Amino acid sequence: MSKFKKGGGRSMPGVNTSSLPDIVFMLLFFFMVATTSKEVDPTVQVDAPVGARATDLTPYKQRSEVDFLYLGKPRNPARADDFKMGFALSLDNVVQPTADGLYTTNAVGQWKKDKFDQKPARMTAPIESVITCVKADKSAPSGLIFDIRKELQEVNALTIAYAVRDNTNI
Amino acid sequence: MAKRELQEINAGSMADIAFLLLIFFLVTTTMDKDTAFIRNIPKKITVTDPVKVEERNILAIKANNQNQLMVRGEIFNDPNKISEFVVKFYRTNERENDPSNNFPMYSTATMELINSQLEDFDRKIEDAENAGSPKEMIEFLNNSYKEWDKKKRALALLGGSQLREISGQAHVRIEVQQATEYSIFAKIQTEIEEALYELRDEKSMQLWGTSYGVLKRKVATEQDKARDEKAKIELLEILYPQRIIEVKPKK
């Protein structure tokens, strides 16, 4: 009689892994839902400049205390000549034209006011402290940014944010 | 022929497939944070006669249409050096005022001075309210009162008998031109932030042995619970205030 039986007898039952796919799928869905891409795909091309020690806007986004506007090159290069210095301003994915088809910032003030009026009722921050984040292309002329700044000053929206790509961690 | 038992599909590799998908999503989605420099735009007011600011209190950083930099009249070829200059601007007279150099002066506030100022403003606010002064006036007085109150808390936290403060007029001025690239503008902002971070971080290490970054993170994550950290940051911001003026380009 041998102590060790070979084959035949009872073998160790394998761990039931049939629920593993479910677990992994759950993880998968979690990541698919939790990671969000940009809320809009801007109609203009924006390649943000690199910066450091910038402030993370996530908490403001969660409280919807920030509005984004984009300043970049139009996606269609042929249209670049239609805009002042070749840069177009996109507000809520609408590239702002003027009567003569040229670039304008005149709509910024009204846009900001409308945005502010549409904010959810739970938001109590006054218009002065609601951030307007300018996402500008790195080669955008600063003059245009100051035009936007002036428009915001007119409607008393006194907090501006200059978007940069910050690769460093705090 | 014997009836064969229906075989179950082997689902063992299902997990592998799901893992592959998971990893694919993990790799491709970038958790891009929106980061930006938050700045205040001054309120629109019509100034009849502007206050004259001493030259020593201005640190002008200029960039022209060709993206060339100039700091206090000197051409800067290396934009990474701006932060050093900003640190120097804050540091030069920090310990002792030396009127012979061209950097901002520091003033000294003692607890007695702060307390007397607080009382003073308290009285002024009361007078203004009784006299029915315009709203702006009362608001201004209230803000001044809050400033001094902040200083009081800061000095209490700092310990010692006096609070050295940079001149209220001292500021960094960014002057760009119409066609200056945005990346240059962002670079200047970065350099100023870097300088302030360096100054505050060093002070924080010296006073409490924690880095400024840690304090900031604590406030960001715990918000109202991190009271000590908030007070510390307030003190650091009084010692090294961020005052930036962005000048509207003319040409």
Name residues 202-241 of chain B within 8 A of A (Cβ). 213, 216-217, 220
- The CA distance from A152 to A105, in Å, is 10
ipTM of this complex:
0.78
Contact between B242 and B192 under an 8 Å Cβ cutoff? The reply is yes
In this structure, the number of other CB atoms found within 10 A of the CB of residue B146 comes to 11
The residues with which B109 forms a beta bridge, in sequence order, are B163
Residue range B112-139, pLDDT digits in tens: 888 888 888 888 888 888 887 788 788 8
Per-residue confidence (pLDDT) for residue B1, from 0 to 100: 57
Q: Which residues of B touch A71 (CB under 8 A)?
A: 182
DSSP string of B65-96?
A: TT--EEETTEEES-GGGHHHHHHHHHHTTSSS
Chains A, B: CB pairs < 8 Å: 169
Check CB contact under 8 Å for B25 and A149: no
pLDDT at residue number A7? 56
pLDDT band at B10 (very low <50, low <70, confident <90, very high): confident
Quote the tokens at residue B54: 């001493």
Residue B25 phi, psi (nearest 5): -65, -40
Cα–Cα distance measured from residue B158 to residue B15, given in angstroms and rounded to the nearest whole number: 58
pTM score, whole prediction: 0.80
